[in-house]
Amino acid sequence: MKLKNSYHPYAAITILFWSMAFVFTRLALQYFTVFSLGVLRYLTASVVLLIVAFATRMQPPKWKDVPWFLLAGAAGFAVYMVVFNLGSQSVSSSTGSVILATTPIITALLARAFYHEKLTGLQYAAIGVSFIGVVVLTVLRGGFTVGGGIVYMFASAFLVAVYNILQRRLTKTYTALRSTAISIFCGTVMLCVFLPGAVDEIKGAPPIQYLYILILGVFSSAVAYCAWAKALSLAKNTSSVSNYMFITPFVTTLLGLWIAGEPVELSTVVGGVLIIAGLLLFRFGDRIMKGKAKQGMDAA
């Protein structure tokens, strides 16, 4: 497969920018509330995508697809942000990370239910290995504690999985750029309920906070989600792309060390190895097993 027709570069770009979002979100939340930051982030993304839409003469969606875009905007942006923040009020970050790491598993199950995408036993095992890696990476660092918001966090993971499934459907008839832009526009409109508070906060924000919002809006939102939609449109099955989400905690830790000087712990190394091993097993495990089986038959 040629690189330009491969989903891997697009998925990797997305994970890099989403991992950056964790670091810069922590920095931005030193000044903004979570709701104000959310609406400012996606307003920035919408402005960038609106310029691109005019430049490319992007057409509005077909009326029959508007409900699907509204669902994508709600699941991937508006409702997800509200639900996630409700959960974050009473669930520890380590617990939340582990729960959100179930997104690829939920996505795979939804893709199997709605698109009849098949997963082999080895691929299910690979998902399990990566998930264990996430557990090692997060639980051993801070302990696995459960708060009253655990239902909200599982709902967040489910919403991201639903967004993946909706984008898989929409990119069948829309380009990745068009599908992402319209979805973000819909989600941003819903988030504007928090705009009055955001306007009050941004008036006295220090200049560095504008930079954080710019990075989050342009790279971690506009660029990242366009790349994610492109990856979903190129992959043969949704799970191949969503499985990349297992890498996010590992990459986030490395970026935290580089940008914020956060120390790297043994759990990060062990967890990261397991996460990458699971991804390699998911991607190449069946091919290797078939190759060995063929060699065995040839030898016989």
What are the domain boundaries of the chain? Answer: 3-129+146-245
Residues 124-149, mean pLDDT to the nearest whole number: 69
Is pLDDT of 91 > 80? no
> pLDDT digits over 148-158, tens only?
566 777 888 89
Q: Are 77 and 190 in contact (CB under 8 A)?
A: yes
pLDDT value for 162: 93
Residues 110-116, mean pLDDT to the nearest whole number: 77
pLDDT value for 184: 92
The alpha carbon torsion through 181, 187, 189, 192 (nearest 10 deg) reads: -130
User: Coil, strand or helix: which one is 236?
Assistant: coil
Is pLDDT of 220 > 80? yes
State what percent of residues in the chain have pLDDT above 70.
78
Is pLDDT of 214 > 60? yes
Residue 14 CA, chain-centre distance (Å), reads 8
Residues 199-212, mean pLDDT to the nearest whole number: 92
How many angstroms separate the CA atoms of 38 and 193, rounded?
11
Is pLDDT of 263 > 80? no
Q: Show the DSSP H helices in 101-194 as ranges.
A: 103-115, 121-142, 150-170, 176-191
Residue 216 class from Cβ within 10 Å (0-12 exposed, 13-18 middle, 19+ buried)? buried
Q: Which pLDDT band, with edges at 50, 70 and 90, does 1 fall under?
A: very low
Is pLDDT of 22 > 80? no
Q: Show the DSSP H helices in 171-247 as ranges.
A: 176-191, 195-202, 207-214, 224-234, 238-242
Is pLDDT of 27 > 60? yes
pLDDT value for 92: 54
Q: Which pLDDT band, with edges at 50, 70 and 90, does 104 fall under?
A: confident
44 vs 132, residue with greater confidence: 44
How many angstroms separate the CA atoms of 149 and 47, rounded?
33
Q: What is the mean pLDDT of the chain?
A: 80
> pLDDT digits over 157-198, tens only?
899 889 988 988 898 889 888 998 999 999 999 999 999 999
| Range from 37-46, 161-170, 281-290 carrying the lowest mean pLDDT | 281-290
How many angstroms separate the CA atoms of 138 and 66, rounded?
39
Is pLDDT of 93 > 60? no
Is pLDDT of 288 > 80? no
Is pLDDT of 297 > 60? no
pLDDT value for 59: 92
Residues 39-52, mean pLDDT to the nearest whole number: 93
> pLDDT digits over 225-248, tens only?
888 888 888 887 777 787 777 777
Q: Which pLDDT band, with edges at 50, 70 and 90, does 207 fall under?
A: very high
How many angstroms separate the CA atoms of 10 and 241, rounded?
9
How many angstroms separate the CA atoms of 247 and 276, rounded?
7
Residues 52-66, mean pLDDT to the nearest whole number: 92
Residue 217 CA, chain-centre distance (Å), reads 14
Q: Which pLDDT band, with edges at 50, 70 and 90, does 276 fall under?
A: confident
In the numeric block, which tokens belong to residue 129? Answer: 């290995």
The CB density around residue 147, as the number of other CB atoms within 10 Å, is 15
pLDDT value for 193: 94
Is pLDDT of 80 > 60? yes
